[in-house]
Structure 1
Amino acid sequence: MVAFKNRYMVMEIFLDPNRDLAAEDPIIVTQFNVSKAIKDSLLENFGECGLASSLGSFQVKYVNPITKLCIIRASREEYQKVWSAITMIRSIGNCPVLFNLLDLSGNIKACKNAALQCDELKFEQYKLVMGDRLTGDVSQHMQNCLEKIKTLEH
């Protein structure tokens, strides 16, 4: 029996800091939004055949809307195509975004460790920026996100 080989990418999403917050609804980064943006980019840049070949094991495994961190799974044969499609994404919804690859791994365990470490550091930074405006709901949501990373499986 041959094991199915995957690659896991830990990506950071940067929202445009110059967007007009009063005119638009704030974008909430979700698994659906990220997955749709990647699939649209695959279709636009590689066509229907490129999209179909990439969808075999493609999955957005985790998205943290607070720290804007996500974990994406792709097959070993197609991860470069998925990665290049991600770098060509310029917006999610109407909000301009950029993606930054933080870690690329062949197994979920190493990816979980990198994502957990990065998420904790980014949340510490977020707490410093928010100061007194940080609510208990946000802290609880962040703890739930950290627990979700710890329970990730193939």
Structure 2
Amino acid sequence: MVGFKNRYMVMEVFLDPNRDLGVDDPIIITQYNVSKAIKDSVLVNFGECGLASSLGSLQVKFVNPITKLCIIRTSREEYQKVWSAITMVRRIGNCPVLFNLLDLSVSRPVKLLP
């Protein structure tokens, strides 16, 4: 039997308050936008090998566009790499953003039957 251990990160997304309010294209935080920004950051900072090793378990599980909270799952072995890549994300689309880690939790191992 194999056990997969994951880490869940609860992140808060800060949008730039100095952004022009007259812009017709407001940014909407979605799972796709956050996931793409994280994957792009992992690729830029850790290369293709770093991206490939973290893609197996990297998933944006939940995003609330109103409260700007998101839950990100990654493997136990790769969570520090993903966390550091998230802190280096500076833009989602055309909007400057910052990520703040609120909580890092531990999941129980999932047992797979043969």
TM over 0.5: yes
Shift of 1:49: 0.3
Aligned position for 2:71: 71
Counting only pairs closer than 5 Å after superposition, residues 78-97 of structure 1 correspond to structure 2 as 78-97=78-97
Measured after TM superposition, the shift of residue 24 of structure 1 is 4.5
Give the letter for the 2:79 counterpart. Y
Tell me how far apart the structure 2 counterparts of residues 67 and 22 of structure 1 sit (CA, whole Å).
22
Match of residue 111 from structure 2: none
Report the Cα offset of residue 23 of structure 1: 2.8
What amino acid sits opposite 2:20 in the alignment? D
Residue 25 of structure 1: how far off its partner (Å): 1.1
- Structure 1 regions of 5+ residues with no counterpart? 109-154
What secondary structure does 1:57 align onto? coil
Identical-pair percentage: 84
- Partner secondary structure for residue 47 of structure 2: helix
What is the rounded CA distance, in whole Å, between the counterparts of 1:45 and 1:28 in structure 2? 25
When you count strand as a share of all residues, which structure comes out higher?
A: 2
Higher Cα radius of gyration: 1
Post-superposition Cα deviations, 1:76-129, rounded to whole Å, max 9, x if no partner, equal: 000000000000000100100000000000128xxxxxxxxxxxxxxxxxxxxx
Amino acid at match of 1:28: I
State how 1:2-151 maps to structure 2 within 5 Å. 2-107=2-107
Structure 1 segments of 4 or more deviating over 4 A? none
TM-score computed with the length of structure 2 as normaliser: 0.92
SS in 1 for 2:4: coil
* Stretches of structure 2 lacking an aligned partner (at least 5 in a row): 109-114
Residues 39-95 of structure 1, C-alpha deviations (whole Å, 9 max, x = no match): 000000000000000001100000000000000000000000000000000010010
SS at the partner of 2:26? coil
Partners of 2:24 and 2:49 in 1: CA distance: 35
> How many residues in Structure 1 have an aligned counterpart in Structure 2?
108
Kindly provide the amino acid, as one letter, of the partner of residue 87 in structure 2: T
TM-score normalised over the length of structure 1: 0.68
